[in-house]
């Protein structure tokens, strides 16, 4: 039996023990309450057995069901004349459960390795806690790109290999059996089916195994646009998640406005990615590019994939010439160009003339040792070695600010802006090439101290303090809230006692 079912059962035993000396009528009603719960649990388990979408009922739930049936019988046998036997039974069972080693099992349903930073600090925090066992499952489903529906098995193999090559003991989604493993908590980062999870890993099925599902978004709600409202706040899984980890009051208010549950399942604790950015900048722990950068100022340039005119937020075509030309002329500063991963697919869908010009540009910039095209699955190296960033309205625009380094936002005329103007507080906005040039010159000549200070102050007021400990608070919160909820569920099971009160 897993930790949560075991704790729930011990809570039931404690309540029964407290009422063992009650009148037979009270114990009879309590027995009926347990029977009603057990019947519902059995019906759920039986239904899962025949579902084409869902894995069979968890072994832990079946063990719990057996324990409840036994408890019902014991109460029935001892209601009238053997109170001491009932008290002894629940005490003995409780002692036995306490004597068994039991760890909270936390499972992480992750996806592309570039998304891993949303989980990484939480996973690492749990990994050093003696009462927690962590599991990582690399999940994938069908993909839709430009109207084409496909399932890329080779892409999935690469995804899985990237985790294992990085030292993460990751399960393939084909080998992980949620019924056998019976995790207590399941963490999600992608709420949708396409490029997300197979049906048996969807939250509305996983919650049949455990109610403790936690959503930590892999993507921050930076980009504006009506279409994005659906993906950030209105997808059906948001209704099912036990907890949604929010990172700003703005994010919670949007869930209250557009979501299903008035944001009662959203808690504002900050985002693990802020720990990533903070620690990468403070410790400079990731040094893949250090030998290339050689101590020079390094600017991370993040371009979105929505490169078509008057669409989305991507500004590559607006600023490519001014950015590349600047770094060709200044060898004492380094460019780390890291487009959105989908950028490479999108650029090849353009006209042949555009594709040819792009290939010429790539060949040209390859001649300059201070221009790096970063296609690595892990962006932490770029975060760690860079000293400033130019960014479209992407997740990076918020995430990188936790580093304390200066940032400039490149807006797109005719396209979308950031989702909330408050996210721009404290940072400059580039609307013409001269704005980008001024920013680059300030970085190159080390004149960014005031810029950084304004950004940090604004970040704290809108998104909370970035201190490198957000993930610790998330872990502590989830464990504490689960224990509180297990006690609440046990108490609420006894409807007869509530009616009496």
Indicate whether 494 belongs to any domain: no
Domain count, the chain: 3
Tokens read off for 368:
């300059």
Q: What is the pLDDT of residue 283?
A: 65
Residue that terminates a domain, selected from 68, 100, 132: 100
Chosen domain end from 78, 100, 122: 100
Same domain, 471 and 459: no
Position 172 scores a pLDDT of 94
Whether residues 298 and 400 share a domain: the answer is yes
Residues 361 and 431 reside in one and the same domain: yes
User: Does 497 reside within a domain?
Assistant: no
Question: 491 lies in a domain?
Answer: no
Q: What's the CA gap between 176 and 191, in Å, rounded?
A: 19
Examine the domain organization and report whether 342 and 446 are in the same domain: yes
Q: Does residue 164 sit in the same domain as residue 258?
A: yes
pTM of the full predicted structure? 0.89
Q: Is 113 exposed, middle or buried (0-12, 13-18, 19+ CB in 10 A)?
A: buried
The pLDDT value given to residue 151? 67
In terms of domains, do 398 and 367 share one? yes
CA angle (152, 155, 158) in 5-degree steps: 155
Alpha-carbon distance of 432 to 274, in angstroms, equals 29
C-alpha to C-alpha distance for 44 and 47, rounded to whole angstroms: 5
3-state secondary structure of 285: coil
Asked whether residue 490 is assigned to any structural domain, the reply reads no
User: Measured between alpha carbons, how far is 238 from 248 in angstroms, rounded to an integer?
Assistant: 17
Q: What is the pLDDT of residue 285?
A: 56
Residue 138 sits in which domain range? 104-271+467-481
Residues 409 and 397 in one domain: yes
* Domain CATH number, residue 403: 3.40.50.2000
Token pair, residue 290, equals 């250090």
The DSSP secondary structure of 451-499, one letter per residue, reads: HHHHHHHHHHHHH----S-HHHHHHHHHHHHHHHHHHHHHHHH-HHHHH
Is-contact 207 128, C-beta < 8 A? no
Q: Do 153 and 74 share a domain, yes or no?
A: no
| 501 within a domain of the structure (yes/no) | no
pLDDT of residue 196: 74
390 in a structural domain: yes
Cα–Cα dist 33/493, whole Å: 6
Q: Residue holding tokens 């403070």?
A: 282
Tell whether 500 is covered by a domain: no
Alpha helix locations (H) across 111-169? 120-127, 153-165
* Residue 150 confidence (pLDDT): 57
H-only helix segments in 132-211 = 153-165, 178-181, 203-206
Does 319 fall in a domain?
Answer: yes
Judgement on whether residues 252 and 279 belong to the same structural domain of the protein: no
Last residue of a domain, one of 76, 100, 124: 100
191 and 60 together in one domain: no
- The reported pLDDT for the residue numbered 501 is 56
Q: Where are the beta strands (DSSP E) in 219-260?
A: 243-246
CA distance 260 to 233: 9
- pLDDT one digit per residue (tens) for the chain, 501 residues: 999 999 999 999 999 999 988 888 899 999 999 999 999 999 988 888 765 556 678 889 999 999 999 999 999 888 766 778 889 999 999 999 998 888 999 999 999 998 999 999 999 999 999 999 999 999 987 665 545 555 678 888 999 999 999 999 999 999 999 989 999 999 999 987 666 788 889 998 899 999 999 999 998 988 877 778 988 999 999 999 999 999 999 999 999 999 989 999 999 999 999 998 888 877 655 678 888 999 999 999 999 999 999 989 999 999 999 999 999 999 999 999 999 988 999 999 999 999 999 999 999 999 999 999 999 888 888 988 999 999 999 999 999 999 999 999 999 999 999 989 999 999 999 999 999 999 999 999 999 999 999 999 999 999 987 889 999 999 999 999 999 999 999 999 999 888 765
In a shared domain, residues 163 and 247 = yes
Q: Based on the fold, state whether residues 209 and 63 are members of the same structural domain.
A: no
- The count of other CB atoms within 10 Å of the CB of residue 94 is 18
């Amino acid at each position: 039996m897993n930790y949560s079912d075991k704790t729930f059962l011990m809570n039931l035993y404690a309540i029964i023990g407290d009422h063992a000396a009650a009148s037979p009528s009270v114990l009879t009603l309590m027995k009926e309450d347990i029977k009603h719960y057990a019947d519902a649990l059995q019906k759920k388990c039986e239904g899962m057995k025949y579902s084409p979408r869902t894995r069979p009922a968890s072994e832990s739930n079946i063990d719990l069901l057996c324990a409840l049936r036994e408890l019902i019988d014991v109460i029935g046998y001892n209601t009238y004349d053997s109170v001491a036997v009932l008290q002894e039974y629940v005490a003995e069972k409780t002692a036995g459960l306490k004597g068994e080693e039991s760890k909270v099992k936390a499972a992480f349903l992750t996806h592309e390795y570039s998304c891993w930073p949303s989980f990484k600090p939480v996973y690492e925090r749990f990994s050093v806690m003696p009462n927690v066992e962590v599991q990582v499952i690399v999940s994938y489903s069908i993909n839709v790109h430009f109207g084409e529906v496909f399932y890329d098995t080779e892409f999935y193999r690469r995804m899985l290999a990237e985790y294992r090559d990085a030292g993460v003991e990751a399960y393939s989604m084909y080998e992980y059996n949620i019924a056998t493993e019976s995790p207590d908590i399941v963490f999600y980062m992608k709420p949708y089916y396409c490029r997300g999870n197979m049906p048996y890993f969807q939250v509305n099925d996983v919650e049949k195994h455990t109610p403790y599902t936690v959503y930590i978004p892999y993507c921050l709600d930076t980009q504006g646009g009506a279409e994005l409202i659906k993906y950030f706040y209105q997808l059906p899984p948001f209704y099912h998640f036990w907890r949604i980890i929010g990172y700003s009051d703005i994010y919670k208010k949007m869930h209250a406005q557009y979501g299903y549950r008035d944001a009662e399942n959203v808690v504002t604790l900050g985002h693990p990615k802020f720990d990533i950015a903070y620690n990468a900048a403070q410790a400079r722990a990731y040094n893949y590019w250090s030998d290339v950068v050689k101590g020079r100022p390094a600017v991370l340039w993040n371009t979105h994939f929505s490169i078509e005119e008057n669409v989305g937020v991507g500004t590559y075509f607006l600023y490519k010439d001014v950015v590349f030309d600047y770094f060709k002329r200044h060898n004492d500063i380094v460019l780390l160009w890291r487009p959105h991963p989908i950028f490479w697919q999108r650029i090849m869908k353009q006209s042949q003339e555009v594709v040819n010009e792009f290939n010429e540009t790539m060949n040209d910039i390859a001649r300059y040792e201070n221009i790096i095209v970063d296609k690595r699955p892990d962006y932490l190296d770029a975060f760690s070695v860079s000293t400033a960033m130019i960014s479209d309205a992407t997740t990076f625009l918020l995430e990188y600010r936790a580093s304390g380094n200066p940032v400039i936002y490149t807006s797109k005329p005719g396209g979308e802006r950031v989702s909330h103007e408050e996210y721009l507080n404290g940072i400059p906005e580039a609307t013409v090439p001269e704005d980008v040039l001024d920013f680059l010159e300030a970085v190159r000549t080390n004149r960014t101290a005031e810029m950084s200070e304004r950004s940090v102050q604004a970040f704290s007021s809108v998104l909370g303090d970035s201190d490198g400990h957000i993930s610790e608070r998330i872990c502590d919160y989830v464990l504490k809230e689960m224990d509180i909820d297990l006690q609440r569920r046990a108490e609420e099971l006894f409807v007869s006692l509530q009616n009496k009160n």
